[in-house]
């Protein structure tokens, strides 16, 4: 299966590494727009739906070596925005190299293209059905290509393609420097820069690195330049093929980050749907709660009404009870007939035999006392017992106490009560 196609856009020099390893080169006139030419080249070379990677360094791209804190890319943008206002422009395209810690602290390289044709290129590629996996600066490709990718104590790189060159260096202490060259003096400038970069290393050191030279006329001079012997020579196609290892959406990817053509995060519609679902669920919950509250309010109102009715009923009944108590008291104060008293006197009159002479009858407050004398010579207790038995009948409305035991004398006293019957309340 062919790999991604790699497009190198370096000024007017356009190269396309096809999936099968074939590399095409296209030179665009200074006044011409490279985008249609690149799209035409892609149309002739790329298979349908073939992924494309872009190494991007047009003439409009500026590179700035800047000091910065070791932070995230979004934070870095906010920090750099203070110095590079163009970063805030809506059509600005920018990228930064991964931050390196050197002798003067952390630093990076800011690439800023204020009037970038990249959006049109990406739109054209997308329109042609070629998904773009990423757009990286040239230095990122250098640093991702062996042996630079594995060098621990710094490296040198020399890239000369046509009349354009890049000399970059990461010193032993981590300081990064890069220099873009263009024009007929490109080779001489590259040799000079290579010497300057080599001076960052200890004398006699042979730092590893890359050398990509695609100009037969100047390659001999470059190969004999100081420090160039230790560099790994690599064909341009091989060099470009390493672009397939660059991480999409990585730190230096132009299109992997906002503000420029940020890839639509796949979570966004999911989050939106989740938010919408939450809103709907919340509305449903609120509606149910409202219904519950209304139902509860109705039930409570009914309960309160019933309770008020019950309270009124109890108050009415309490008033009725008070009236009943009042009437009962009034009725109790009206005594009935004192008939039991007369009945007792009549019963006493009838039951007293001739052998007994009554001497005193006293009834006071319901207590009755009968005193008498037995005048029968036959015996002291027989007549009295008979009298007591006649009077002390269970159904009588009076009560007589038992006879005192051992009655021996003639005088006797009967005691009892009649109060309950005599003072009974009037009854119908």
Partner 1 sequence: MRLPPAHWLLPAGILAAAGSVYYSRSASAPAVAPEEAALQRQAEALAGATPDTILQLENRLAAARARLAPAPGFDAWLQGACRNWIVATRSTGSAGDLELRQYGLVYDHPRMSSWPDITASLQALCAEPGLTIDRLDIAAAPDGADAFQQVEVRLTVLLRP
Closer Cβ to partner 1, 104 or 290, answer by number = 290
Asked if 47 interacts with partner 1 (CB under 8 A), we say no
Q: Which is nearer to partner 1, 199 or 273 (CB)?
A: 273
Taking CB under 8 A as the rule, does residue 420 contact partner 1? no
Q: Which of residues 358-377 bind partner 1 (CB under 8 A)?
A: 358-365
Q: Does 1 bind partner 1 (CB under 8 A)?
A: no
Number of residues that bind partner 1 (CB under 8 A): 67
Looking at 81, 205, 235, 310, which residue binds partner 1 (CB under 8 A)? 310
Contacts to partner 1 from residues 315-344, by CB under 8 A: 317-318, 320-321, 323-324, 327-328, 330-331, 333-339, 341-342
Across the strands, what pairs with 110?
A: 64, 96
Q: Which of residues 131, 146, 183, 269 is near partner 1 by CB under 8 A?
A: 269
Shortest Cβ 311–partner 1 spacing (Å): 6
Question: Which of 38-46, 120-128, 309-317, 382-390 is the region at the interface with partner 1 (rule: CB under 8 A)?
Answer: 309-317
Residues 74-103 that bind partner 1 (CB under 8 A): none
Residue 126 or 342: which CB sits closer to partner 1?
342
**278 forms part of the interface with partner 1 (CB under 8 A):** yes
Query: Counting contacts by CB under 8 A, is residue 286 touching partner 1?
Result: yes
- Chain positions contacting partner 1, by CB under 8 A: 267-269, 271-279, 281-283, 285-286, 288-290, 292-293, 296, 299-300, 303-304, 307, 310-311, 313-314, 317-318, 320-321, 323-324, 327-328, 330-331, 333-339, 341-342, 345-346, 349, 357-365, 422-423, 426, 428
């Amino acid at each position: 299966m062919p790999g991604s196609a790699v497009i190198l856009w370096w000024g007017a020099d356009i190269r396309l590494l096809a999936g099968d390893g074939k590399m095409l080169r296209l030179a665009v006139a200074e006044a011409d727009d490279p985008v249609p030419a690149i799209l035409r080249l892609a149309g002739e070379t790329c298979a349908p739906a073939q992924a494309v990677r872009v190494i991007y360094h047009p003439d409009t791209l500026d590179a700035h070596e800047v000091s910065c804190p070791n932070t995230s890319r979004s934070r870095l943008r906010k920090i750099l925005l203070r110095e590079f206002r163009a970063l805030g422009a809506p059509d600005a395209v920018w990228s930064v190299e991964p931050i390196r810690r050197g002798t003067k602290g952390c630093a990076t390289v800011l690439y800023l293209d204020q009037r970038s044709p990249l959006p049109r290129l990406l739109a054209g590629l997308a329109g042609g059905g070629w998904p773009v996996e990423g757009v990286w600066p040239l230095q990122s490709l250098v640093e991702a290509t062996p042996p630079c990718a594995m060098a621990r104590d710094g490296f040198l790189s020399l890239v000369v393609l046509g009349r354009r060159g890049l000399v970059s260096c990461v010193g032993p202490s981590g300081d990064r420097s890069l220099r873009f060259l263009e024009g007929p003096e490109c080779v001489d400038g590259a040799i000079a820069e290579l010497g300057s970069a080599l001076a960052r290393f200890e004398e006699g050191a042979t730092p590893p690195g890359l050398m990509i030279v695609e100009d037969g006329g100047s390659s001999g001079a470059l190969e004999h330049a100081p420090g160039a012997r230790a560099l790994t020579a690599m064909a341009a196609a091989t060099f470009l093929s390493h672009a397939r290892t660059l991480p999409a959406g990585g730190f230096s990817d132009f299109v992997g980050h906002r503000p420029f053509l940020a890839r639509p995060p796949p979570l966004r519609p999911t989050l939106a749907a989740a938010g919408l679902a939450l809103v709907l669920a919340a509305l449903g919950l609120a509606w149910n709660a409202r219904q519950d509250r209304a139902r509860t309010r109705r039930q409570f109102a009914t309960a309160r009404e019933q309770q008020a009715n019950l309270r009124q009923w109890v108050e009415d009944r309490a008033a009725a009870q008070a009236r009943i108590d009042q009437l009962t008291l009034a009725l109790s104060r009206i005594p009935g007939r004192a008939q039991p008293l007369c009945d007792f006197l009549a019963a006493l009159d009838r039951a007293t035999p001739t052998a007994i002479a009554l001497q005193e009858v006293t009834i006071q407050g319901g207590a009755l006392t009968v005193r008498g004398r037995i005048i029968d010579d036959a015996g002291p207790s027989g007549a009295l017992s008979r009298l007591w038995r006649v009077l002390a009948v269970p159904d009588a409305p009076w009560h007589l106490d038992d006879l005192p035991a051992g009655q021996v004398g003639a005088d006797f006293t009967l005691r009892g009560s009649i109060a309950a019957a005599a003072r009974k309340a009037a009854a119908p």
